[in-house]
Structure 1
Amino acid sequence: MATVTLKGTEIHTLGSLPNEGSKAPDFQLTKNDLSSVKLSDYEGSRLVLNIFPSVDTGTCAQSVRQFNEEAAELDNTIVLCISKDLPFAQARFCGAEGIKNVEMLSDFRDGNFGRAYNLEFTDGPLASLHSRAVVVLDENGTVLYTEQVPEIVDEPNYKAALEALMDS
């Protein structure tokens, strides 16, 4: 179990994020058109998994905006923004914000992504949602970098995530 805080109050996730150097757990998530996508569909591309509780909060929305901006500059890299928001809400947000350089994916169907990556909250007011985290994968699905953001209202360390791509 990992412990993070929500405005200073401890809340817990299922466990630790995948270890750097390990193979990333497979997943099946839902795209905005309601089709399914798996990790293997991205084989050959580097991935930044930007994971958060809900795009309807300020910090989560900002992380999508920031990675959208940064992603335009990255070669052979796809940013996947992952939450349990319904695909309709994700599409609405991207349309309103002009977000075009990231893919929004939803774990609303069965929550297996949150469990496989150990980032589902087990208690507190956000129980069953995803914690704020970043996982960076190389072209073969090997974990290069992880960050479990310790205070859920804080933004992730964008610079460190992107530097992990530069070092690979």
Structure 2
Amino acid sequence: MASITFKQNPVTLIGNEVKAGDTAPNFTVLANDLSEVSLSDSKGQVRILSVVPSIDTGVCDAQTRRFNEEASKIDNLKVLTVSVDLPFAQKRWCAANGIENVQTVSDHRDLSFGEAYGVHIQELRLLARAVFVVDSNDKVTYVEYVSEATNHPDYDAAIEAAKAAN
């Protein structure tokens, strides 16, 4: 499993570590209207799965804004920002911040995504910061488990991987 820290303290990740070359695990999360969303809903598209501990924090805000900006520049790209924030909070945050190119989804209900991708932080019931790029055939082409959850991911590497997967 990936080894990460949260505010410099080691944490335990629950679930299966995903590696480039793997078939992307399916998951079920909730959209802002409480409807279910799964990986298979966007089959045929390249996906960036941007994972954040909480949308209402500085780094998570910046991460979501950056992928929102980049999403409009890449054809056939779907960006999902996944957190355990409640769908209502995600909807409110998106409306207040003009987020239109990223879909925020909540893993609060049963941590389906967190456990399928090995980002469920046991001690905090949050998701570890990570980025996964999945091609249109559901193959994982890029993985970054950010070693310190309060740090930014490598945006440029993820964006280049998404372009290459197209």
Does TM, scored on the shorter chain, surpass 0.5?
yes
Match in the other structure for 2:86: 86
Deviation at 1:10, TM superposition (A): 1.7
RMSD of Structure 2 on Structure 1 (CA): 1.2
Q: List structure 1 segments (4+ residues) > 6 angstroms apart after TM superposition.
A: none
Q: Percent identity?
A: 45
Structure 1 position 49 matched with structure 2 position 49: yes
Match in the other structure for 1:133: 130
> 1:133·1:148 contact (CA, 8 Å) conserved in 2?
yes
Partner Cα separation in structure 1 for residue 163 and residue 58 of structure 2: 28
Partner Cα separation in structure 2 for residue 133 and residue 167 of structure 1: 19
Deviation at 1:34, TM superposition (A): 0.8
Partner Cα separation in structure 2 for residue 16 and residue 157 of structure 1: 22
Partner Cα separation in structure 2 for residue 110 and residue 122 of structure 1: 13
Deviation at 1:151, TM superposition (A): 1.0
Matches within 5 A, 1:33-44: 33-44=33-44
Match in the other structure for 2:74: 74
Match among 127, 142, 165 for residue 162 of structure 2: 165
Segments of 5+ residues of structure 2 without an aligned counterpart are none
> 1:17·1:148 contact (CA, 8 Å) conserved in 2?
no
What is the one-letter code of the residue matched to 2:64?
A: V
Segments of 5+ residues of structure 1 without an aligned counterpart are none
Q: 3-state DSSP class of the match of 1:150?
A: coil
TM-score (structure 1 length as normaliser)? 0.94
Count of residue correspondences: 165
